[in-house]
């Protein structure tokens, strides 16, 4: 059986490697030596987790409980652990320092993975003490290097500086021999979003298994996304002839899975958010009678009132009050919501991903009975740009984001995980002549002055270089924040402060922030112009100068997006070339 020490040693090496290719090769070499369930478990552990996002794999242990476990494991006082933590800033490093026994019997991957699952499953009365006991016990058995990474995984702070795309590349090399299958592996991962399951299948059966992955109940697929267009007339160029314009809602993307009486709701980031929306779950039971179905939609803070059934839409930030652990029922009353469905992906055992959009919409309308909470996205099917513009203006009058234009062609399949040209978005900012909105990752902050003293004055934000799987700086954002925004952002990034530039972030000396932030949180930024910049690194290289965003303005926090869903350098370059 493979030893956890093998993973710990690779983790240690990866922290020191900056080369994309070398990281992928090192991971591939390790996976070549694993078998069966070890492959599955290791795939999760490499991402600092013990399962796919849709299974909510957090262990429920914070720094306070981990600190107690370390003290118990190594026979020291909690005060000593606190002092060392204050100095190192990393409880994993503290465990490494305190583990004086040195060499011992190494743990297996299965030992560690099973114990982490036990910690997660400890719930109810006395669960905190049980979690502390379980963690303390395995730390006593672990070697120093093992203990360090067990702690970091437990706390969700593995911080190796790469995401799941590195693993997919490594799988292609390890299980298919080279990268020629990488495209198909990525497509399969958009449908089979359980990276452990995908890895184990590839290890057992090779790339021939890729054709067998399909959508299934309880395992969400990655959302299909809309492409951007630069000018309104481009809608006709990209989607000629008949097209469907749908209202675009400023809410939370949701994928609903109904399997008999069991109903699950998954976010765009594939997290299970069922418990946050009991009103939607109950409405689905009453208004969607079909037994097995998966539907795609958007949850919004919404009220329909008055004799004329006036619709009132509230912004995304208000909706986020519903994302809470406690007082869920209370906020169901305080903040009513509706879900607007616009696609159907699975029906009574059959995948609909390869069916054209017109057929999917027709099936959706057949299966969904509208009510106050359950709605169908409003749309206009037409060949006329004038009618689409009128529909767009009506959407703005309702204070919506804009519209999404969808192809009515026979090849308009649902492209899971892709930003597809079958869907195009046109938002209010475009109509006002604004340049564009960008979803950017916070990688640093600059100290504030005056009213913002004690918080940040500006944020250093980066775009995703998808090819290199790294984050390159694109702009410094210092306007658009309210005091409440600044406080909320400070809270969000407080757990992601690091002492030096993260290795998956590229920053030039002239742009160095006062505080470095590991790529974790995304904000939406509005800008007026993309220019070449010697100060920023977005798109720099191969004879190209870096790109920067002029006149940036903060719009909102993107809680529904992770760092690897940020605007890409390629998208920015294409936007600049079109202007």
Q: Are the C-beta atoms of residues 441 and 464 closer than 8 Å to each other?
A: yes
Side by side, which strands form the sheet with 243-248? Answer: 225-228, 419-427, 402-407, 243-248, 379-382
H or E stretch covering 82: helix 78-88
CA distance 298 to 276: 14
Residue 268 DSSP SS3: coil
Count CB neighbours of 261 within 10 A: 7
DSSP per-residue letters across 514-547: SEEE-S--EEEEEESEEEE-SS--BT-BTTBPPE
Q: Are the C-beta atoms of residues 207 and 188 closer than 8 Å to each other?
A: no
Count CB neighbours of 225 within 10 A: 17
**Distance set, CA 521 to CA 162, 440, 462, 501 (Å):** 15, 8, 11, 16
CA distance 335 to 319: 8
- Of 235, 233, 187, residue with least CA distance to 214: 187
Q: Are the C-beta atoms of residues 457 and 449 closer than 8 Å to each other?
A: yes
Q: Are the C-beta atoms of residues 17 and 157 closer than 8 Å to each other?
A: no
Phi, psi of 455 (to 5 degrees): -115, -145
Task: Please say if 476 is a catalytic residue.
Answer: no
**DSSP E strand boundaries for 337-435:** 337-347, 350-351, 374-376, 379-382, 402-407, 419-427
**Distance set, CA 373 to CA 45, 300, 320, 378 (Å):** 39, 10, 17, 14
Residues 6+ away with beta carbon under 8 Å from 362: none
Q: Of these residues, 120, 248, 378, 503, which one is catalytic?
A: 248
Q: Are the C-beta atoms of residues 272 and 293 closer than 8 Å to each other?
A: no
CA distance 355 to 311: 32
DSSP per-residue letters across 276-303: G-HHHHHHHHHH---SEEEEEEEEEEEE
- Of 148, 151, 153, 188, residue with least CA distance to 167: 188
CA distance 8 to 115: 16
Residues 6+ away with beta carbon under 8 Å from 444: 459, 460, 507, 512, 513, 514, 515, 516, 517
Beta-bridge mates of residue 305: 310
CA distance 46 to 165: 12
CA distance 147 to 138: 8
Catalytic sites, residue numbers = 248
């Amino acid at each position: 059986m493979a030893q956890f020490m093998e993973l710990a040693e690779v983790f240690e090496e990866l922290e020191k490697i900056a080369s994309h290719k070398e990281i992928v090769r090192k991971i591939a070499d390790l996976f070549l030596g694993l078998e069966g369930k070890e492959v599955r478990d290791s795939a999760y552990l490499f991402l600092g987790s013990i399962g796919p996002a849709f299974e909510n794999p957090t262990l429920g242990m914070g720094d306070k409980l981990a600190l107690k476990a370390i003290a118990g494991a190594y026979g020291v006082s909690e005060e000593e652990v606190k002092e060392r933590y204050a100095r190192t800033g990393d409880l994993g490093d503290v465990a490494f320092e305190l583990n004086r026994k040195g060499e011992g019997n190494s743990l297996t991957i299965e030992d560690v993975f099973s114990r982490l699952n036990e910690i997660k499953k400890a719930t109810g009365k006395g669960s905190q003490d049980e979690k502390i006991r379980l963690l303390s016990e395995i730390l006593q058995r672990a070697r120093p290097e093992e203990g360090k990474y067990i702690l970091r995984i437990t706390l969700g702070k593995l911080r190796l500086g790469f995401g799941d795309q590195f693993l997919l590349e490594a799988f292609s090399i390890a299980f298919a021999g080279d990268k020629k299958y990488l495209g198909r592996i990525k497509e399969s991962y958009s449908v089979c979003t359980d990276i452990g399951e995908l890895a184990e299948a590839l290890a057992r059966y090779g790339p021939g298994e890729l054709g067998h992955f399909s959508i299934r109940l309880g395992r969400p697929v990655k959302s299909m996304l809309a492409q951007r267009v630069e000018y309104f007339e481009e809608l006709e160029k990209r989607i000629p002839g008949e097209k469907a314009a749908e209202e675009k809602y400023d809410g939370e993307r949701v994928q609903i899975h109904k399997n008999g009486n069991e109903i699950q709701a998954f976010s765009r980031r594939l997290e299970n958010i069922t418990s946050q929306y009991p009103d939607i779950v109950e409405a689905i039971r009453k208004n969607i009678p079909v037994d097995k179905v998966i539907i795609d939609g958007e949850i919004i803070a919404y009220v329909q009132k008055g004799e004329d059934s006036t619709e009132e839409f509230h912004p995304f930030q208000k909706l986020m009050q519903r994302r809470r652990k406690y007082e869920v029922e209370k906020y169901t009353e305080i903040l009513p919501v509706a879900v607007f469905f616009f696609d159907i992906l699975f029906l009574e055992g059959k995948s609909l991903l390869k069916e054209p959009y017109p057929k999917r919409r027709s099936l959706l309308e057949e299966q969904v009975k509208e009510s106050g909470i359950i709605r169908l996205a409003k749309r206009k099917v037409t060949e006329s740009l004038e009618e689409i513009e009128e529909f767009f203006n009506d959407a703005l009058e309702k204070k919506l984001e804009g519209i999404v234009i969808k192809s009515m062609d026979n090849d308009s399949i649902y492209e899971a995980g892709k930003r597809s040209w079958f869907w195009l978005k046109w938002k209010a900012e475009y109509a006002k002549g604004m340049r564009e909105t960008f979803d950017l990752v916070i990688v640093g902050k600059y100290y504030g002055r005056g009213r913002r003293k004690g918080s940040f004055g500006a944020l250093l934000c980066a775009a995703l270089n998808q090819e290199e799987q790294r984050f390159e700086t694109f702009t410094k954002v210092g306007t658009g924040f309210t005091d409440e925004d600044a406080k909320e952002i400070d809270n969000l990034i407080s757990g992601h402060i690091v002492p030096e530039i993260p290795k998956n972030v590229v920053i030039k000396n002239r742009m160095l922030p006062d505080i470095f932030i590991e790529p974790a949180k995304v904000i939406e930024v509005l800008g007026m112009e993309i220019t070449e910049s010697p100060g920023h690194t977005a798109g720099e290289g191969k004879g190209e100068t870096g790109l920067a965003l002029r006149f940036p303005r903060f719009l909102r926090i993107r809680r529904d997006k992770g760092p690897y869903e940020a605007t890409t350098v390629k998208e920015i370059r294409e936007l600049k070339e079109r202007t």
